[in-house]
Amino acid sequence: MRYPGSLLARYHRSDFAVLLPHRTLKEAESIAGQLLKAVDALPANKMLDRDDMVHIGICAWRSGQSTGQVMEHAEAAARNAALQGGK
């Protein structure tokens, strides 16, 4: 496994979450960049709007935060990424 302890899971409909324990925000941003490059490398498809296909929001769990607080931050980061448009 490239990132031991990591987890990819469907969160809701077309939303996915990637958990990267013991990674810094800088590492998470680098991994997000790798994901975007992989998506960009996919063959073009007239049915999909490439600029609206992937939005990545990044947040970190801080000591003392509840699961609910972390999820709120993650959802806000994803919304912000979608509002910015593109990738």
pLDDT digits (tens, 9 = 90+) for 32-70: 999 889 888 888 887 777 667 788 999 999 899 999 999
Assigned domain for 1 exists:
no
Q: For 52, what's the count of Cα atoms within 13 Å in the CB-facing half-sphere? A: 5
Assigned domain for 71 exists:
yes
Domain that holds residue 25: 7-84
Assigned domain for 22 exists:
yes
> CA gyration radius for the chain?
14
Beta strands in the chain (DSSP E): 7-12, 15-19
Assigned domain for 2 exists:
no
Structure tokens at 85: 């448009």
The pLDDT tens digits of the residues spanning 18-33 come to 999 989 999 999 999 9
Assigned domain for 72 exists:
yes
- The total domain count for the chain is 1
